[in-house]
Amino acid sequence: MPEIQRPFVWDSIKVRDLIDSIFRGFPIGYIITSVDPTLIQKDGTKADGKTSIIDGQQRITALRASILGEEVINKYYKPVRIKIAYNPFADTDAGENSFETLTPAIEKSSKWITDISKVLSGSRSEVNSIIEQFAQNNPDRSKEEIDDRIEKLESLKDQEIGYIKLLSNQLSIDEVADIFERINSKGVPLNQADFAMSKLASDKEHGSSVRKLIDYFAHLAKEPEYFKHIEANDTDFKESGLLSKIAWLKDDRGDVYDPNFSDIIRTSFTYSFGRGKLADLVSLLSGRNFEARIYEAQIAQDTIKQFNSAVLDFVDKSSYTDFLQIIESTGFIDSKMIGSKNALNYAYVVYLLMKRDNANPSILKKTVARWFVMSVLTSRYSSSPESAIDRDVKEIARSGVDEYLRKIEDSDISQQFWDTALVNDFDKASQQHPYLNTFFAAQVYFGDTGFLSDVTLRSIRSIKGDIHHTFPYDYLKKNGKPDRYDYNQIANFVYMEKSTNIQISNKKPSEYMATVIEQAKSGELHPRHPIGNITNFEMLTTNLEQNCIPDGFENMSVDDFEDYLLARRKLMTKKIEKYYKSL
């Protein structure tokens, strides 16, 4: 089996349960491997294809740890032993377990053999020594009884485990995935990125190191503090020089783009190979020659090298941080504002392509920013993302990024889109809709303040604000609008400070705006029940304009709600249009 040095995610209890299930003859699911087609070497000779683990890595690792006594890599990337103890005379009828994770108490008990790997993997003389020691510690048990129970433990090695070998020359990648899902419907669904990682792990010469690079980058992007564990425990990776390539992540605290291993694989592959479907990467890693329809060892080797280079481009500090600055410059300043990771992934593809082509930095920034916002606003990669990405990267190769973006803008976000389609599409109820997030990004971009506040939206998002209703939902529910679709309309949401929302409570606009207007007139906040913190009319007028609040809002009640929504939708779309065209 190919080695996969990913952190072992099972706890010791789960390992114990696995051993107990095998011991008692219970099914533990199938181990599934995929065998690459026969490869044609440079000299024309043939070689067997590599074997990759498709499903069962955790079970295999658990068995190797408990039966062979091998170390596993824990979540801190530290090699550790998992020892499973065996009680030969456990009273299972009384609820005692035959197997337990080794604890100090069990280690001191004469009833337990403290490590089953000593029996299952030890020499005959070592096993006899264990039996003799156990007999001395348990004089009430006869030698025959002990031998019988130890023999029963040793029979665990002869238990059959379901094993399926899938031959890639007989089944397509999609068919393999379908088989997996049917067999393992209760497990984690397999995807093409898992296949790719398995293929990388099976290439020990080159693939193992890049697989670790992908895994570690994804982990550190979310949890920078784990750097010290990787540095301390994976000396091979450190000595390879690859750890230094991602060491900068230990000081990174941003969360706008924290890619997982699948994101890194997809983005690197699309950027470097000009393809959007990960099944193609799996095929290339297997050595497939798409034109000749054969499998060649040289193609597999070249793919690994090209992919390694692409991943290094992905994790490059200069590229990655520059890309994040571009995204944040659009007003999307945290991950909660970005519902589609694919929009980020493909925007990074565009960035890497333009950087590789030595694009003018100012043009690169403008193009990447517009591409990203266009993708979010139009939900470009929300449906059949692989097909959309494959189409885009191939069209970019033909006509260039700038020309292709202009084509998309002419067809998908024309003036008709801004004037009519977007206004109509705003008739939706969601706090996380791309339209609403784009509107908030526009406010951040323009430096707007939160609703009835003198604090910028950027600051409110980072410290003490949230999304709230201009017409309070409790007020609407009590006045004939009980449906979530009504009170959670996109056009009913603003960003405001938490204290302001508490002050508004369930008051209708005409009621709470009376206090706001009085504060603007007097130049002072209400002594007992202030609302917001605006104390002059110029600031109030500007604030309402920034938040796209229609004229007459200060006089509105539930009877005006539908007209208010339509008017605000138009104002919000105009703001988004101005924002996009200014990028």
* pLDDT at residue number 43: 60
Q: Are residues 496 and 375 in the same domain?
A: no
Distance between CA atoms of residues 216 and 206, nearest Å: 16
* pLDDT at residue number 187: 52
Q: Are residues 146 and 244 in the same domain?
A: no
Q: Are residues 312 and 389 in the same domain?
A: yes
Distance between CA atoms of residues 69 and 81, nearest Å: 7
CB 281 within 8 A of CB 358: no
**366-369: Cβ within 8 A, 24+ apart:** 366/583, 367/401, 367/402, 367/405, 368/323, 368/326, 369/326, 369/327, 369/329, 369/330, 369/583
Residue 317 CB neighbour total at 10 angstroms:
13
Q: Are residues 153 and 236 in the same domain?
A: no
Please tell me the total count of domains within the chain. 3
Distance between CA atoms of residues 287 and 269, nearest Å: 15
Boundary residue ending a domain (158, 184, 207): 158
Q: Are residues 133 and 256 in the same domain?
A: no
Place of tokens 């991950």: 335
- For residue 165, being part of any structural domain is answered with no
Q: What are the tokens at 345?
A: 């992934």
Q: What is the pLDDT of residues 437-496, one digit of tens each?
A: 999 999 999 999 999 999 999 999 876 568 999 999 999 999 999 999 999 999 999 999
* pLDDT at residue number 93: 86
- For residue 116, being part of any structural domain is answered with yes
Q: What is the pLDDT of residues 159-170, one digit of tens each?
A: 889 888 877 667
Q: Print the domain residue range for 281.
A: 192-408
Residue 101 β-bridge partners: 84
The CA distances from residue 456 to 449, 464, 467, 498, in Å, are 4, 11, 14, 14
Q: What is the pLDDT of residues 226-281, one digit of tens each?
A: 999 999 988 889 999 999 999 999 999 888 999 999 999 999 999 999 999 998 99
| Weakly modelled stretches of the chain, pLDDT under 70 | 1-7, 38-47, 168-169, 172-174, 176-190, 463-465
CB 7 within 8 A of CB 74: yes
* pLDDT at residue number 4: 41
The CA-based diameter of the chain, rounded to the nearest angstrom, is 98
Q: Is 367 exposed, middle or buried (0-12, 13-18, 19+ CB in 10 A)?
A: buried
Q: Are residues 240 and 352 in the same domain?
A: yes
- For residue 526, being part of any structural domain is answered with yes
Q: Are residues 442 and 317 in the same domain?
A: no
Boundary residue ending a domain (158, 184, 202): 158
CB 190 within 8 A of CB 177: yes
CA 427 distance to own-chain centroid? 30
- For residue 282, being part of any structural domain is answered with yes
Q: Are residues 402 and 450 in the same domain?
A: no
Distance between CA atoms of residues 18 and 538, nearest Å: 70
Place of tokens 């379908």: 178
- For residue 246, being part of any structural domain is answered with yes
The CA distances from residue 135 to 124, 148, 152, in Å, are 16, 12, 16
Distance between CA atoms of residues 161 and 380, nearest Å: 45
Distance between CA atoms of residues 273 and 307, nearest Å: 8
Residue 408 β-bridge partners: none
**DSSP per position, 36-67:** PPPEEPTTS-EEPPPEEEEE-HHHHHHHHHHH
Q: Are residues 530 and 479 in the same domain?
A: yes
Boundary residue ending a domain (343, 373, 408): 408
CB 495 within 8 A of CB 441: no
CA 124 distance to own-chain centroid? 48
Distance between CA atoms of residues 446 and 56, nearest Å: 52
- For residue 170, being part of any structural domain is answered with no
The CA distances from residue 484 to 440, 488, 490, 501, 575, in Å, are 21, 6, 11, 19, 26
**Distance from the first to the final alpha carbon of the chain:** 52
- For residue 184, being part of any structural domain is answered with no
Distance between CA atoms of residues 222 and 328, nearest Å: 18
CB 289 within 8 A of CB 296: yes
Instruction: Decide the pairing of beta strands 163-167 and 99-101.
Output: unpaired
**122-129: Cβ within 8 A, 24+ apart:** 127/154
Q: Are residues 146 and 73 in the same domain?
A: yes
Amino acid at 7: P
What is the 3-state secondary structure of 195-262? HHHHHHHHCCCCHHHHHHHHHHHHHHHHCHHHHHHHHHHCHHHHHCCCHHHHHHHHHCCCCCCCCCHH
Q: Are residues 371 and 236 in the same domain?
A: yes
Identify the CA nearest to 329 among candidates 264, 373, 286.
373
Distance between CA atoms of residues 264 and 113, nearest Å: 45
Q: Are residues 359 and 239 in the same domain?
A: yes
- For residue 55, being part of any structural domain is answered with yes
